[in-house]
């Protein structure tokens, strides 16, 4: 728990970052944000957490809506978004249109405006289909931007990407803030080895945005980022390019291997998690468009059969013992497929998962604050001043 002096120091730190372009802007992919913007997001998250720990209200909105749109079942992200909105004083209003009713094109523009007359923020999760999620979010953002410019909307609701087909920034940022806290600061990360690796799961079609988001973000901190997966389980090339370019700039490295063992060897951080191959996800998107159910079932069967060849891609005690001092930090976005618990063969051995439960829950605990920070930075031109004011006034959250 941070005391008020520490919170003040974080606020001072925040003053040093240029966040001007975040104001009235959207948060799509971490790699579209500058280093200052990423650092500011972490810092604001820490400040908001600190305020709450000290029972200081950060309710900056007296009224206003935070609109959520989930095109996928969600409990964790839903509650994270609701918590973040509530922390700042926004009321969540869920747009529950079913997957089919909200078409693209004209309708998006209209719906986006119709729901935004009193919206300050819109959070969208749309991660199921390659080429769709981010495109949809852009359409919504463009629509409300135009509505704002044309005087239809009195305020510009900003958009937070709660997971698209490309990136999952609220997840990777929460993961990274956990890592920063665990290792004691950003400056401690240089040279650390992180293994983002595929792992076996008995399910099919898990989104790519987690591994893509992780390599896209973790590569900015001078770390040795290793992406491991069986042959054929590639992620989007664009994201690998981001990771490669980031690691060059940050003085780290990025490489790909086809062996979990190689990735784990000496790693400081491991992130074993299942995903579907990019090429399969592309194929699925095309099949879904045709509506051919037989083809979809065939693809699923084929994909599961192929997955089954890699049941040995599991985060076992043996593998963990090969990491740095046998004590790598184990990360997961949750829920994990735990061998012998949630399934027969899964991503991780029960004893490994058990040992890391507390750190895993703490990892997740950063997400509401990351989302709140993204909202905050998009809504205040001078965030440090505003946060200083909250700290000084020190209105109690619980009276």
From 5, 100, 150, 326, residue interacting with a copy of itself (rule: CB under 8 A): 150
* CA dist., res. 70 & res. 87, Å (int): 20
CA atoms within 13 A on the CB side of 176: 29
Q: Is 115 in the site for a copy of itself (CB under 8 A)?
A: yes
Rounded to the nearest angstrom, the gap between the alpha carbon of residue 252 and the centroid of all alpha carbons in its chain is 22
Q: Which among 113-121, 133-141, 222-230, 310-318 is the span making contact with a copy of itself, rule CB under 8 A?
A: 113-121
Q: Which among 10-18, 76-84, 262-270, 317-325 is the span making contact with a copy of itself, rule CB under 8 A?
A: 76-84
Q: Which is nearer to a copy of itself, 205 or 359 (CB)?
A: 359
Q: Is 334 in the site for a copy of itself (CB under 8 A)?
A: yes
* CA dist., res. 116 & res. 122, Å (int): 8
What DSSP letter does each residue of 350-379 carry, written as one string?
HHHHHHTHHHHHHHHHTHHHHHHHHHHHHH
What minimum distance in Å lies between the beta carbon of 32 and a copy of itself? Answer: 25
Closest CA to 64 of 101, 32, 41, 93: 93
Q: Which residue has the tokens 């699923």?
A: 300
From 12, 18, 97, 392, residue interacting with a copy of itself (rule: CB under 8 A): 97
What minimum distance in Å lies between the beta carbon of 92 and a copy of itself? Answer: 7
Binding mask 356-395 for a copy of itself (x = CB under 8 A): --x--xx-xx-xx----------x------x--x-----x
Q: Is 75 in the site for a copy of itself (CB under 8 A)?
A: yes
Strand partners, 68: 94, 123
Burial code of 185-206, b = ≥16 C-beta within 10 A, e = fewer? Answer: ebeebeebbbbbbbbbbbebeb
From 80, 161, 250, 274, residue interacting with a copy of itself (rule: CB under 8 A): 80
Element (H, E) at 179: helix 169-183
The angle at the Cα of 370, spanning 369 to 375, to the nearest 5 degrees, equals: 95
Q: Which among 146-154, 201-209, 302-310, 311-319 is the span making contact with a copy of itself, rule CB under 8 A?
A: 146-154
Evaluated on CA atoms 336, 26, 37, 393, the torsion sign reads: negative
Q: Is 120 in the site for a copy of itself (CB under 8 A)?
A: yes
* CA dist., res. 363 & res. 324, Å (int): 20
From 15, 52, 244, 355, residue interacting with a copy of itself (rule: CB under 8 A): 52
* Residues in CB range of 73: below 8 A, 6 or more apart: none
Q: Tell me which residues in 200-239 interact with a copy of itself (CB under 8 A).
A: none
User: What is the contact surface with a copy of itself in residues (CB under 8 A)?
Assistant: 49, 52-53, 57-65, 75-76, 79-80, 82-83, 86-89, 91-93, 95, 97, 106-107, 110-111, 113-115, 117-118, 120, 147, 150-154, 334-335, 338, 341-342, 358, 361-362, 364-365, 367-368, 379, 386, 389, 395-399
């Amino acid at each position: 728990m941070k005391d008020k002096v520490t919170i003040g120091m974080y606020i001072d730190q925040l003053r040093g970052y240029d966040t001007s372009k975040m104001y009235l802007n959207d948060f799509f992919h971490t790699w579209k944000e500058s280093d200052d913007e990423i650092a500011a997001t972490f810092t604001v998250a820490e400040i908001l957490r600190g305020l709450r720990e000290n029972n200081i209200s950060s309710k900056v909105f007296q009224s206003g809506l935070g609109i959520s749109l989930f095109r996928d079942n969600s409990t964790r992200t839903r509650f994270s978004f609701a918590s973040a909105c509530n922390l700042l004083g926004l009321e969540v209003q869920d747009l529950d249109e079913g997957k089919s009713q909200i078409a693209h094109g004209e309708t998006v523009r209209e719906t986006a405006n119709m729901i935004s007359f009193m919206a300050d923020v819109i959070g969208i999760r749309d991660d199921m289909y390659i080429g769709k999620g981010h495109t949809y979010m852009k359409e919504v953002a463009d629509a409300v931007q135009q509505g704002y410019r044309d005087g239809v909307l009195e305020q510009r609701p900003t958009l937070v990407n709660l997971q698209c087909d490309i990136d999952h920034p609220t997840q990777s940022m929460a993961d990274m803030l956990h890592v920063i806290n665990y290792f004691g600061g950003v400056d401690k990360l240089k040279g650390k080895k992180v293994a983002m690796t595929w792992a076996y799961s008995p399910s099919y079609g898990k989104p790519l945005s987690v591994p893509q988001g992780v390599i896209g973000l973790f590569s900015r901190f001078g770390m040795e980022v290793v992406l491991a997966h069986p042959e054929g389980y590639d992620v989007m090339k664009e994201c690998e390019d981001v990771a490669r370019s980031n690691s060059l700039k940050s003085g780290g490295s990025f490489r790909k291997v086809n062996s979990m063992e190689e990735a784990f060897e000496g790693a400081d951080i491991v992130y074993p998690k299942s995903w579907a191959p990019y090429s399969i996800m592309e194929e699925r998107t095309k099949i879904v468009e045709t509506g051919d159910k037989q083809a979809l079932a065939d693809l699923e069967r084929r994909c599961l059969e192929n997955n089954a060849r890699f049941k040995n891609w599991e985060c076992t005690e043996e593998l963990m013992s090969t990491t740095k001092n046998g004590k790598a930090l184990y990360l997961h976005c949750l829920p994990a497929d735990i061998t012998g618990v949630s399934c027969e063969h899964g991503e991780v051995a029960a004893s490994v998962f058990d040992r890391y439960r507390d750190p895993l829950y703490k990892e997740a605990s950063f997400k509401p604050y990351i989302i709140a920070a993204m909202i905050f930075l998009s809504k205040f031109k001078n965030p440090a001043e505003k946060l200083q004011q909250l700290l000084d006034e020190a209105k109690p959250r619980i009276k």
